[in-house]
Chains A and B, each alone.
Chain A
């Protein structure tokens, strides 16, 4: 799976590259508008991460170009600008998602996975790990092909953690993903714990081969038993 990162900030680019490579993607990079354009025109990517503030041009123009040559690459805009206008413009131009800096890598990971999954129009594709299968569209969680009854929050947490399996996922990343941005001011995210606790219990009771580890002071980690 090939991903193009168009980002002018070298450290940010490097960081995303490293993270995505760890996730098993093939990553290519571009630091400017022109080099980004070259790559977009010459190759196909499963997903393009596009910073809209580039030193030699606006990323939105790049997006326009991409659509005008009728490429079907998925695009996630990453921007330091939390601007509604840009967001609407970007999505109107055909971007698949819009992520505002700073973001959690876990969140980026989840968004990339969703975008790629959607792009394949393969709605029945399951998110699978060991004996656990998840159908996101139908909101179904199966262990050993038998349904597990999860509430909405538990299901969302499971999906998010499965997308970020074997990684420490911070409580705030989970909170933001499931509850939305506004929860970020909460003094502690311990309220997540009650949901996680129930989720773990349900996974254990259904003999799932996965478990959620508590990483004290950081967050949670979904592991294979």
Chain B
């Protein structure tokens, strides 16, 4: 539920309860006022009637309210003297209207000009409570509607405006990616809570981006710093290997050490390449002709594939020209081709198919099952492969990510890697 709707629901519920309570209160207030007014009218009427009844002949004792709105009954003096004017509700049956109705009744007593004492009852006109309730309910219903409508307006205009910094922040957080690492520049707001929220989020993001960058920087620095000692180690061993006094066995061992160091160095280079790709240091883009890239790389590997008796078939169904960094395109293709060749078997096959906006590389392999999705993760390698760094495909994915390419792996007896334009 949206914040605006939430407040709206809450507000209307509260309004409803409040207005209902208020309606009851209002009804009783109005009723009280109405009765008071009627009673005053009755008091006036009493005076008029008593005045009229100075003429004794007009005094007629009656049992029911007929055309007159009053009843007169003779009472003894003692009774009459203790009568106080009392007002109360009563129900009267009207022959005229042939129904009972609610009314106010004034009971009083007076002494006529002939010295006799009379009790008199006067009634007012009809009080229609149900009509009153109906009227009040109707007007309050309209009031409620009006208030509801205004709260929608308030929500839409005032609240939306008030919460704008919040939505902006939310929008930013939605789009935020640690590796892109842009610090938000929150809009200035006068509301303290939002200012605090903005500050907190900015601080949080900044801290995280800093940590992330530091770690990235750390990997890069470590890789960098390792290059020189590695170079020294490899070169010293190479010099040492030239020593005439060494036995064949010793030279062979030296060779193995050098190979290990070279692998370490290769790993290092891959990590550096990673950092560079992820730091987007390959900015320049140009039209890359994948046909050219494939032709060259397949040619470059031809000696190796011939030696390993691996058959590379290149099917060019169409040419694909894509705008990206040329170096990255070469690394992408090379790593995929390399992957297809080095994880192949003697006498195996590699099939490269180039289409108008994609290419696929299929290869046979010793591993004849579908590999899991961790394939493209760093160091997700087959532990039996000492020679590989486990970074080749991770680099491929990193390149695809920064270049707007889609990478897809499937297995159909052969391992199939597909690279296509992201739409």
**Binding between chains A and B:** yes
Q: Which residues of A contact B (CB under 8 A)?
A: 9, 11-12, 15-16, 18-19, 22, 80-82, 84, 101-106, 153, 167-168, 170, 172-173, 179-180, 182-188, 190-191, 194-195, 215-219
- Tell me if A185 and B238 are in contact (CB < 8 A): no
Q: Does B205 contact A (CB under 8 A)?
A: no
B252 interface neighbour in A9, A16, A217, Cβ under 8 Å: A217
Known: A81-B224, A84-B327, A218-B252. A12 touches B239 (CB 8 A): no
- Tell me if A217 and B255 are in contact (CB < 8 A): yes
Rounded to whole angstroms, the CA-CA distance of A188 and B231 in the bound complex is 21
Q: Does B303 contact A (CB under 8 A)?
A: yes
Consensus secondary structure, chain B interface: helix
Q: Does B232 contact A (CB under 8 A)?
A: yes
Q: Does B342 contact A (CB under 8 A)?
A: yes
Q: Does B338 contact A (CB under 8 A)?
A: yes
Instruction: For residue A22, give the distance in angstroms from its CB to the closest CB of chain B.
Output: 8
Known: A15-B235, A172-B262. A153 touches B303 (CB 8 A): yes
Tally of contact residues, B, Cβ under 8 A:
47
Rounded to whole angstroms, the CA-CA distance of A84 and B327 in the bound complex is 10
Q: Can you name 12 extra interface pairs (CB under 8 A) apart from A80-B231, A190-B307? A: A80-B227, A81-B224, A101-B227, A102-B230, A102-B261, A102-B262, A105-B239, A179-B300, A182-B300, A182-B334, A183-B301, A215-B241
A101 interface neighbour in B231, B303, B338, Cβ under 8 Å: B231
- Tell me if B252 and A185 are in contact (CB < 8 A): no
Instruction: For residue A197, give the distance in angstroms from its CB to the closest CB of chain B.
Output: 11
- Tell me if A218 and B254 are in contact (CB < 8 A): yes
- Tell me if A104 and B234 are in contact (CB < 8 A): yes
- Which of chain A's residues has its CB closest to B387's CB? A187
A-B contact pairs, 17 of them (CB 8 A): A12-B228, A80-B224, A81-B224, A82-B269, A84-B327, A102-B262, A168-B238, A168-B241, A170-B258, A179-B300, A184-B266, A186-B387, A191-B306, A195-B303, A215-B255, A218-B252, A218-B258
Q: Does B420 contact A (CB under 8 A)?
A: no
Q: Does B256 contact A (CB under 8 A)?
A: yes
Q: Does B108 contact A (CB under 8 A)?
A: no
